[in-house]
Structure 1
Amino acid sequence: MNENATSRVNRSDGQRRRPDGPHPGIVGTVCIGLFVVSLVLMAALSNGGTIISPFADDSADFFSQHGLAARLSALLQLGSSVPLGIYAATMYARLQRLGVRVPGPVIALVGGASASLLLAISAVVTWTAGQDVIAANPELTRALGFLAFGTGGFAHLLGLGLLVAGIAVPSLILRLLPAPLAWAGLAIAAICELSILTMALEPLMVLIPIGRFTALAWIVATGFLLPRTRQHTNTPKEKS
């Protein structure tokens, strides 16, 4: 009898001590840090230049003139796609542990995984366009520029928006996050999803950097603020 009780206690202790995975706030910080450094490095190596819109007639010139900057920037962007995928998996596990049994966590996981994959594809395409032998062909380089822009732009943001919305909605309903932060997540997710209109309306490209950086900042804040247990949430008390 005592042995059975001790066994149950040990199992209970093991469950409480179950590893929680990497800290999502730190993982999110690494993701946004690598992405920002990729942009800074590109600007530094190209004397303040950057990859311009593929819709511009001279969009291929950057790759022919600053191939090294494009390749190194792509390297860091590929690196940033990895912690983004880890973040999505970690937050899915955290929400499951918090007892969230709605589609939100799955939507966040699918969105984060697709955003990570599309960012990785965009980085590899950018790296390809930065090769000297490819950059010598302006038409091919411009075509690759469109592909990199699409996968790393509005397509990436569609997944990123789902990641944010999948966390924000259940967090708002169950009061897992401060209400202003949860509502901000819904607004950011909407911007990310609306960025797909860039495919038809070129001026709406402005939604891509707005959605990208606000979403990345949001996932970092959420990674630090989402509680590990429901005991730390602001859920209302049950009526007696």
Structure 2
Amino acid sequence: MKRIAIIAYALFTVAGGVLGATGTRPDSSAAEVAAYDAAHQGLVQLLALVVFGAGLSLATWTAAARPPQLGYAGGLLASGSLLLSGLATWTAAQNPDVARPFTALAFAAGAFGFAVPLALLIADVARAERKWLAVTGYVIAALAGLSALSMLTDVLYPLIPVARFGGLVWLVLATFVKPRD
């Protein structure tokens, strides 16, 4: 079940990256967000579903992996953040009057709101991995944790995809590479 869940999580995450690549950005105006969401409602709704699916897949992986308490909490909080991001994205697509605030919430939940709890999951799971994988996990977890500072400055936004996609690759490796003896 753990392998199926991580493959589903990977597919949903990559699909979300592709679908969201042409969308609005956190600094887009309310008018830009409303216009984009109105013109691309079906795409935005599909993006919402894909992000929601990623959250469910990560929750399934977390339950199957059975990490220690801190990692378990991090995995569930990260998956909950993705679920919230998906729901906020869907809500933004429903009504142009609320598109901007719900798009901001979707970004916050799917960015640093996701990355910081993911750091807890990765750091906890890394303890049982082979040394090279553990060290890589700790580096990704540290960068993911630092992404919280992007709430203060958009200069640190590049940490978010490092956490999101670096974390994805790391979780795939942690799922398929045999842990240390």
For the criterion TM > 0.5, the same-fold answer is yes
**Separation of aligned partners in 1, 2:5 and 2:41:** 29
Paired residue for 1:118?
81
Displacement, 1:54? 2.0
**Separation of aligned partners in 2, 1:61 and 1:198:** 26
Displacement, 1:59? 3.9
Paired residue for 2:16?
38
Instruction: Find the residue that maps to 1:130 and give its secondary structure.
Output: helix
Instruction: Give ranges in structure 2 of 5+ residues lacking alignment.
Output: none
The CA deviation string for residues 186-218 of structure 1, in whole angstroms up to 9 with x for no partner, is 000011111111110112111111110000110
Paired residue for 1:202?
154
The CA deviation string for residues 24-65 of structure 1, in whole angstroms up to 9 with x for no partner, is 23321210111212333x36xxxxx62232222334432122
Displacement, 1:67? 1.2
Flag the 1:212–1:111 CA change in 2: closer, same or farther, 3 A: same
Instruction: Find the residue that maps to 1:50 and give its secondary structure.
Output: coil
Residue 158 of structure 2 corresponds to residue 224 of structure 1: no
TM-score under structure 2 length normalisation: 0.91
**Separation of aligned partners in 1, 2:61 and 2:178:** 13
Instruction: Give ranges in structure 1 of 5+ residues lacking alignment.
Output: 1-21, 44-48, 96-104, 172-176, 228-232, 235-240
Whose radius of gyration is greater, 1 or 2? 1
**Separation of aligned partners in 2, 1:191 and 1:118:** 18
Q: How does 1:97-136 map to 2 (within 5 A)?
A: 105-131=68-94, 134-135=95-96
Residue 11 of structure 2 corresponds to residue 25 of structure 1: no
Paired residue for 1:63?
37
Flag the 1:55–1:216 CA change in 2: closer, same or farther, 3 A: same
Residue 49 of structure 2 corresponds to residue 91 of structure 1: no
**Separation of aligned partners in 2, 1:206 and 1:59:** 22
Displacement, 1:180? 1.1
Paired residue for 1:13?
none
Displacement, 1:221? 0.7
Q: 26-35 vs 143-152, which deviates more?
A: 26-35
Residue 25 of structure 2 corresponds to residue 53 of structure 1: yes
Q: Percent identity?
A: 32
Paired residue for 1:185?
137
**Separation of aligned partners in 2, 1:60 and 1:207:** 27
Displacement, 1:86? 1.3
| Partner amino acid, structure 1, of 2:75 | G
For these two proteins, the number of residue pairs brought into alignment is 179
Q: In 2, are the aligned partners of 1:34 and 1:80 still within 8 Å (CA)?
A: yes
TM-score under structure 1 length normalisation: 0.70
**Separation of aligned partners in 2, 1:208 and 1:218:** 15
- Runs in 1 of length 4+ with deviation above 6 angstroms? none
Paired residue for 1:82?
56
Structure in which a larger fraction of residues adopt helix: 2
Flag the 1:60–1:207 CA change in 2: closer, same or farther, 3 A: farther
Paired residue for 1:147?
105
Displacement, 1:108? 0.8
Output the aligned Cα RMSD.
1.6
